[in-house]
């Protein structure tokens, strides 16, 4: 239960729709030349940094790995609503998921407590 309560931080869940839906919508409401700025700043820099943050947040709080799909799904909602282009929106959602996975699994590639494990070279014996 503690694991779930740590992930239910309202600040984290408020930032998901703000970055995924509201930020691109604000760039869409700006005058014509801001579309390229939206693409570079909001969709690449801010959202990719936010993907790293989401992956680190979920790993740090011991969250279920299924929650990694929430951020790309919120971004896909903005694509389905027409806020972001379908031409690149699906690919960016997939890129955000991959970046989250990298951030979530960072540091898990080596066994930390390998020295503390019991050797089983001769098979299991009474301790």
How many angstroms separate the CA atoms of 78 and 100, rounded? 18
Identify which of 26-30, 44-48, 95-99 has the greatest average pLDDT.
95-99
pLDDT band of 115, cuts 50, 70, 90:
low
- Quote the pTM value: 0.75
For residues 65-89, give the mean pLDDT. 90
| Closest residue by Cα to residue 106 from 64, 37, 70, 53 | 53
How many angstroms separate the CA atoms of 117 and 95, rounded? 37
């Amino acid at each position: 239960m503690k694991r779930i309560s740590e992930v239910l931080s309202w600040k984290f869940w408020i930032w998901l729709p703000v970055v995924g839906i509201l930020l691109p919508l604000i760039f869409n409401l700006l005058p014509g030349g801001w579309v390229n700025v939206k693409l570079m700043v909001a969709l690449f820099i801010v959202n990719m940094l936010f993907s790293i943050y989401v992956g680190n947040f979920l790993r740090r709080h011991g969250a279920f790995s299924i929650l990694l799909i929430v951020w790309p799904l919120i971004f896909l909602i903005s694509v389905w609503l027409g806020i972001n282009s379908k031409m690149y929106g699906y690919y960016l959602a997939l890129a955000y998921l991959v970046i989250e996975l990298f951030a979530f699994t960072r540091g898990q590639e080596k066994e930390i407590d390998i020295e503390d494990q019991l050797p089983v070279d001769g098979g299991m014996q009474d301790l």
